[in-house]
Amino acid sequence: MKIGKMFSKESTGNALTSIGALRLRLSHSSMLHISLLLVILAITATIRLLPLRWGFQLSEFDPHMHYRLTSYMVDNGFFSWTTWVDPMSWYPQGYPVSAVIYPGLAATAAFFYQIANALNLAPGAILTSDVYHPLTADPVFNFCVIFPVIMATLTVLVVYFVGRDIGGKSVGLFSAFFLALSSSYISRTSLGFFDDETVGIFGILLFIFFFLRSIDPERSIKSTVTYAVAGGLSLGYLFASWGAALYPLGIVLVFVFVLLILRRYSTRLLISYSTVFALALLIAVQVPKLGIEFLTEPTVLAVAGMFLLLFTLEMSRRIKTPKNKTFFVIGFLSLIVILFVGLASLGFVGELGNKFISVIFPTERLGESAVQQLVQSVQEHRPTTWGTFYYDLGIGILFVPLGLFFIVQNPTNRNIFLGIFGITAIYFAGSMARLSLLLAPVVSILWALALVELVKPFVTILREKPKVPRRKMRFRPRVGKEFSAGFIILMFLLLTVTFVLPSSGSSYSRVIERANSPTTIAASSLPLRGQVSDWLDTLNWMRVNLNSNSIVVSWWDYGYWITTIGNVTTLADNGTVNTTQIGNIGEMYMSNETEAIKILERYDSEYVLIFITFDNNGNDYGYGDEGKWRWMARIAGLDDDKYGDYSLGVDWVDTSDDGTVDSDELVVNDVGNSTVLYKLMWYTKEMLMYGSSTIELEHFEPAYFSQEAETLDWYYVSSDTYFAAAVCVFEVVYD
């Protein structure tokens, strides 16, 4: 009987009712909102997977070193890298990894790989291309290839929360949507782009989200401390991951200073500021690349100065009499000034890095020193053109000033921070092309804010219920529902200019055009939308036929590829940690064979590599080393015009004085013709085009060519112009 009562219909019904009460209750608007966010996240991941058609590969150059570090951490432990000197790079000194590379990216990838591997989710051997890539047999490599897509999706989710805090759910959704389809952000987070920016933008946005919440006056002190701790950990993670971490630090300094000018100081601000930077700097000094010396860096000292200023204001608020308050403030500020002057005079104030000075003052990159020439030789270090801005932002460039206008109209703390973020990002993106990435998240938020604010009044009009007037109105409203609907449709049609309509000279929109591009190595560094196997074929040959102790000399651009995929030892790579050694390599290429062999012997070099492109007339095409010889000479401290003022080995004498190059005005430059680079390039071109060469090599023998004369691949340019590319390895022959 008791059992029967226990399972009576009434008790069973009550139990089911209780279970039903536990179900998740969502309104239709919330379900729609969540669905839209999930769709945006799906778009984020999908569009970044488009390069998969070109193979499962790392893109560009630096990601290959980050993969090596990740693999080393997985195999030897998370902290093993602190003492790792890679003997296969920068021979003979080796590559001091902990002193050069930020560990955050590799540590993050290694950590998540270990979790995925424990759950049996780590990707195994993958073969998605006709050209064999030896590293796809390594699951760590495969995880690194897909890691940027994962981080981009998480970053879009974070920018949604930042945008929602600033302008509501609509701004959050549009911010996420615009960042998901941002051309500049896609270029740095697509499949295979395993570089610092992958976690850098994520860290910046996460820090901004926590910091702005920590100073929100509507939150409790407990919440302030919690969010400040989270913000400090986020900024510390950023310090361990990306050199651009000084940028958000600088934004916060300017932001706090503006708040003080606007008389918005509060105890909450002091608590948040001190907590954030105490934790962040504690983490930063643990990073070997930064160390304790980081605390003497000018911007970090400015952080300390701002803390003392905030502390002064807090103490002055506790002094009741105006006279004592004035004496205290003046005395304490004087003490701060004397303290910093004393530290500077004793040499305890460090210098701002050359890279950051050159971003703030772009003219600092223009100079004749080896370091300045090295910086100028990198395309992404050059100032951004207006055309690049439009290509990256599209129609969004028109909404940025509108977003700043709406910020001025409503100067909340969050809006002030966003305004400073936007203005400084525009300046730095204009200073250096690479930093257009910093512009992507803030433009997405400003664009979303402007769009929502513009559309909001017209949406309100559309939602109004029609009123039937009792008598005929003398004046009718100027803006009706038809106009409102038309304006909203126009705003969304403008979005198609950027995200839907094809860009000039392409059948794809600018977003798809940027995303649907082959990785650099898949196209062999050529501006082609297709598989070009020269580099992978050469690297596979090295891996099979040479050993890890074989020393291969190349221009520094290709060092990471040769070491990581070719599995051989190099003299220089994209880390550019030793300008002198890069200069020596440049001097070797620009010397005659007799002088070059002396430099090669100094480094025990066994092979020399060149990468060339040329057209069907045998002329240099410019995408290989034939376009880099001037930088080789300049970085080596040589006069590049000495080797040819028109091209390598060719002088131009304008006998007709008309400024037009005629064939009879080109004169052979004997110095340029005798250089190792010229001879190796012309030997290769003649062998591939004619099957024989007039160039006699004394100290070099061909070991491997990625092309053969009988099957030379030509790529279409115009009806009468084609070009070919080849990677060539020559064995060094000593006396």
The predicted pLDDT at position 2 comes to 47
Same domain, 461 and 426: no
**C-alpha closest to that of 721 among 626, 648, 625, 619:** 619
Query: In which domain, by residue range, is 162 found?
Result: 158-358+385-452
Share of the chain above pLDDT 70, in %: 80
251 in any annotated domain = yes
The neighbour count for residue 344, using CB atoms within 10 Å, is 12
**Mean pLDDT for the stretch of residues 103-116:** 95
pLDDT reported for residue 39: 94
Percentage of the chain exceeding pLDDT 90: 57
Q: DSSP secondary structure string, 216-275?
A: -TTS-HHHHHHHHHHHHHHHHHHHTT-GGGHHHHHHHHHHHHHHHHTT---HHHHHHHHH
Reported confidence tier of residue 528, pLDDT bands at 50, 70, 90: confident
Domain assignment present for 526: no
Q: Looking at residue 221, what is its pLDDT? A: 92
Strand partners, 608: 553, 730
**Whether the predicted pLDDT of 479 surpasses 80:** no
Classify each residue of 203-217 as buried b or exposed e, where b means 16 or more C-beta atoms within 10 Å of its C-beta: bbbbbbbbbbbbbbe
pLDDT(377) > 60: no
16 found inside a domain: no
In this prediction, residue 381 has a pLDDT band, given cuts at 50, 70 and 90, of low
Strand partners for 700: 732
What lies within 8 Å, CB to CB, of 546 at 6+ separation is: 552, 566, 567, 568, 607
pTM: 0.88
pLDDT at 512 over 80: no
Rounded average pLDDT over 658-676: 88
Return the DSSP state at 610.
E
Nearest alpha-carbon partner for 205 in 259, 148, 146, 251: 251
Is there a single domain that holds both residue 214 and residue 100? no
Which is higher by pLDDT, 96 or 503?
96
Band of the pLDDT at 256, cuts 50, 70, 90?
very high
Are residues 284 and 403 part of one domain? Answer: yes
Output the pLDDT for position 661. 81
Residue 99 in domain? yes
What pLDDT is attached to residue 53?
85
Contacts of 219 (CB under 8 A, 6+ apart): 213, 227
| DSSP state at residue 647 | B
As beta bridge partners, residue 96 has 85
Query: What mean pLDDT comes out for the span 371-391?
Result: 58
Q: Is there a contact between 599 and 591 (Cβ–Cβ < 8 Å)?
A: yes
Rounded alpha-carbon distances, angstroms, from residue 432 to 61, 171, 199, 385, 444: 19, 29, 20, 10, 20
DSSP string across 683-722: HHHHHHHHS--SPPPSSEEEEEESS-GGG---EEEETTEE
Q: Is residue 581 part of a domain?
A: yes
Are 171 and 95 members of one domain?
Answer: no
Mean pLDDT, range 181-200, rounded to an integer: 92
191 and 65 within one domain: no
Q: Look-up: residue for tokens 């226990």?
A: 6
Q: Give the confidence band of 712 by pLDDT, cuts at 50, 70, 90.
A: very high
| Residue 377 belongs to a domain | no
Residues 170, 129, single domain; the answer is no
**640 and 501 within one domain:** no
CA distances from 46 to 34, 51, 127, 507, 727 (A): 18, 10, 20, 19, 33
Instruction: Enumerate the β-bridge partners of residue 85.
Output: 96
- Does 249 reside within a domain? yes
Q: Please write down the HEC assignment for all residues of 78-144.
A: CCHHHHCEECCCCCCCCEEHHHHCCCHHHHHHHHHHHHHHHCCCCCCCCCCCCCCCHHHHCHHHHHH
Residue 155 near residue 40 (C-beta atoms within 8 A): no
- Give the per-residue pLDDT at 658: 79
Domain final residue pick, 144, 174, 208: 144
pLDDT in tens, 316-349: 776 767 766 666 667 666 776 677 666 666 666 6
Q: What pLDDT sits at residue 475?
A: 43
- Which range has highest mean pLDDT (5-19, 80-94, 311-325, 367-381)? 80-94
620 pLDDT more than 70: yes
Do 163 and 206 belong together in one domain? yes
CB 724 within 8 A of CB 715: yes
Poorest-confidence range of 117-131, 371-385, 504-518, 563-577?
371-385
Cα torsion angle, 10, 11, 14, 20, sign: negative
Considering the domain architecture, whether residues 140 and 165 belong to the same structural domain is answered as no
Q: Which of these three, 112, 144, 176, is where a domain ends? A: 144
Pair of tokens at residue 47: 């569009």
C-alpha distances out from residue 587 to 188, 249, 732, Å: 33, 41, 16
pLDDT computed for residue 667 by the predictor: 92
Q: For the chain, what's the residue count? A: 735
Question: Count of domains in the chain?
Answer: 4
Q: What is the residue whose two structure tokens read 């009123």?
A: 467
pLDDT of residue 502: 62
Higher pLDDT, 494 or 216: 216
Asked if 140 and 162 sit in the same domain, the reply is no
- Average pLDDT on 67-73 reads 96
Distance, in Å, from the CA atom of 134 to the CA atom of 148, rounded to the nearest integer, reads 21
Which residues, 6 or more positions from 295, have their beta carbon under 8 angstroms from its beta carbon?
281, 285, 301
Give domain status of residue 399, yes or no: yes
- Of residues 713, 664, 666, 711, the one with CA closest to residue 691: 711
Same domain membership, residue 552 and residue 500: no
Report the pLDDT averaged over residues 531-559. 95
Q: What is the CATH number of the domain that holds 675?
A: 3.40.50
pLDDT value of position 240: 96
Residue 373 pLDDT class (50, 70, 90 cuts): low
Mean pLDDT of 708-735: 92
Contact indicator for 424, 377 with CB cutoff of 8 Å? no
Q: pLDDT tier at 426 (50, 70, 90 boundaries)?
A: confident
User: Mean pLDDT over residues 537-566, rounded?
Assistant: 96
What pLDDT sits at residue 469? 55
- Predicted confidence at residue 538, as pLDDT, reads 97
Give the separation between CA 450 and CA 722, rounded to whole angstroms: 47
Which residue among 144, 175, 191 closes a domain?
A: 144
pLDDT digits (tens, 9 = 90+) for 567-605: 999 999 988 888 999 999 999 999 999 999 999 999 999
Same domain, 578 and 724: yes
Is the pLDDT at 3 greater than 50? The verdict is: no
- Cα 61 to its chain centre, rounded Å, is 12
| pLDDT of 714 higher than 60 | yes
Predicted pLDDT at 660:
81
What integer pLDDT is reported at residue 357 of this predicted model? Answer: 60
